[in-house]
Amino acid sequence: GTTAEIQDEPRSVAARRFTGNIRFENVSFNYESGHPVLRNVNFEVEPGQRVVLVGPSGSGKSTLASLLLRFHDPVNGRILIDGRDIRDYTLESLRSQISIVMQDSPLFAVSVHDNIAFGTAAASPDEVVLAARMANAHDFIQQMPRQYDTVVGEQGATLSGGQRQRIAIARAAIRKAPITILDEPTTGLDEKNER
């Protein structure tokens, strides 16, 4: 079966800035009928809390993220952010407040600075450096031929998987989104950076 295209409900309102309380109530979901991916999932995440979901590939971890971003809606149950069903929020106001780092976040053939600041129009150079420090990327960026002005993919500025991942994490950090999802973010990172 095909999922109807997700769009704003007639009752949707623009969300205020989230504090970040997330609650899944009896959430069930399947991509095909009769093959549940999630069944009656219940959990709550408090603002400021870090939650790690572990499980084998295909156990539904990425599905939880796609439900939170409303790429799909649950078959049963509901998802609340700050006590309100996420279907009550406009998609734009919901998604703009959730930052996501995928396992293979793309980097663009622009400077390291622009890769980190991507999608954040008003980011200052100081904010870019702060985000890079938070992502443990500042030190290796300092060693690059033109540091933050180095264009990714040019003249020896090819990055390891772990370095690309840390730039992607810095890009998520600079958005200061109240909710950040890291989807398999530690693939390619050594133990120190994984922490």
Residues 60-89 pLDDT 10s: 888 898 899 998 999 999 999 999 999 999
pLDDT at residue 193 in the model: 59
Q: What distance in Å separates the CA atoms of residue 144 and residue 171, rounded to the nearest whole number? A: 18
DSSP letter, residue 86:
G
For the chain, the first-to-last Cα distance in angstroms comes to: 40
Given the structure tokens 């409303």, which residue do they identify? 70
pLDDT at residue 1 in the model: 43
| 185 pLDDT more than 60 | no
Q: Report the percent of the chain where pLDDT is more than 90.
A: 35
Q: What is the mean pLDDT of residues 132-150?
A: 91
Secondary-structure breakdown of the chain: helix, strand, coil percentages, each rounded to the nearest 5: 30, 20, 50
* Strand spans (E) along the chain: 22-29, 38-45, 76-81, 84-85, 98-101, 179-182
What is the pLDDT of the chain when averaged over all its residues? 84
pTM: 0.72
Q: Report the percent of the chain where pLDDT is more than 70.
A: 88
